[in-house]
Amino acid sequence: MISTGEDGKLCLWRTKDWECLRVLKGHTGAIHCADVHPTGRVALSVGADRTLRSWDLTIGGKLTATKLKQVYMVTHGMQHSWPHCTLESQWEANAQVTRTFTTRTTLHCLHYAVTDKAHEELLVVGGDDKRLRIYHADQEAPLCEMEAHNARIKDLAVLPATSTGRPTVIVTIASSGQIRVWSLEQLLAEKPTTMSSRALLGEYDTGSRLTCVLAVHGFATPSTTPSST
């Protein structure tokens, strides 16, 4: 496990006995966000010193440092609003900007996704204009741009497909209290501009003001009737 703090240090922990294995130093201010690559070998962090740093977790050392114009980092999702946001895609190998996406709305959420069959790298974005956008890492224009709700999209989550033939699921929530579940593959195939009933897997109106969502894989179990004794 990794942890960060206002002292600018990134700590590596062994969860078996909670021993701190290594303290990584490099930031000159508080670290705001950090995340580990799925391989477990590389980590990224961003801090108040306006630098994006990459770390080699196999040896516990620094790799690169890139100066940023704004202090923010997107890992699995973002939790702040940014008006007329410019998104910059970066490779971990050299921490250089590879693609810039510009929107004209306030963004509330962004998640990274990978398609099941083609293994394409995508960014899924939602914001004030009620539209769900899907970007390819190699294209500036969105692959899909659809009005997904009747109110601003406050947050979204992405669930990768667990097996071949199952869809990658996008869960979106709106400030109106509505939850909607979408098939990523169907959205990419259909490329709708208005709400797609074919891509919509399900919806629920909570009647509450929603601000965040987290989606996890679960297992459906058949209901059972207790036996009488």
In tens, the pLDDT along 98-122 reads 667 777 788 888 888 877 666 778 8
Q: Check if the beta carbon of residue 211 is closer than 8 Å to that of residue 184.
A: no
* Across 68-82, 103-117, 214-228, least confident range: 68-82
When pLDDT is cut at 50, 70 and 90, the band that residue 97 belongs to is low
pLDDT at 225: 47
Q: What is the pLDDT of residues 42-52, one digit of tens each?
A: 888 888 888 88
26 to 67, 73, 132, 200: CA distances (angstroms): 13, 17, 37, 45
Tokens representing 40 are 């477990």
Q: What mean pLDDT value characterizes the chain?
A: 80
User: Tokens representing 162?
Assistant: 């667990």
What does residue 187 show for φ and ψ, rounded to 5 degrees?
-65, -40
- Residues paired with residue 84 on neighbouring β-strands, in sequence order: none
Pick from 121, 96, 98, 102: nearest CA to 111: 121
Answer whether residue 224 shows pLDDT above 70: no
- For 45, 47, 93, 194, the CA distances from 42, given in Å and listed in that order, are 10, 17, 9, 39
- Classify each residue of 144-169 as buried b or exposed e, where b means 16 or more C-beta atoms within 10 Å of its C-beta: bbbebbeebbbbbbbbebeeeeebbb
Is the pLDDT at 64 greater than 90? The verdict is: no
- Residues 10-42 as b or e (16 or more Cβ within 10 Å = b): bebeeeeeeeeeeebebbeeebebbebeeeeeb
| Residues 171-199 as b or e (16 or more Cβ within 10 Å = b) | bbbbbbebbbbbbbbbbbeeebeebbeeb
Measured CA to CA in angstroms, residue 213 lies from 93, 125, 172, 174 at distances of 31, 14, 8, 10
Residues, the chain: 229
Pairing relation of β-strands 97-102 and 86-90? antiparallel
pLDDT of residue 165: 67
Residue 174 to residue 212: CA distance in whole angstroms: 9
pLDDT tens readout for residues 170-186: 999 999 999 999 999 99
Residue 187's H or E segment, with its range, is helix 184-190
Tell me the domains of the chain and their CATH numbers.
1-73 (2.40.10), 75-218 (2.130.10.10)
pLDDT recorded at residue 48: 85
Percent of the chain, pLDDT > 70? 78
pLDDT score, position 99: 65
Q: Note the pLDDT of residue 193.
A: 84
pLDDT of residue 118: 67
Token pair recorded at residue 59: 């040896």
Can you tell me the mean pLDDT for 35-46? 82
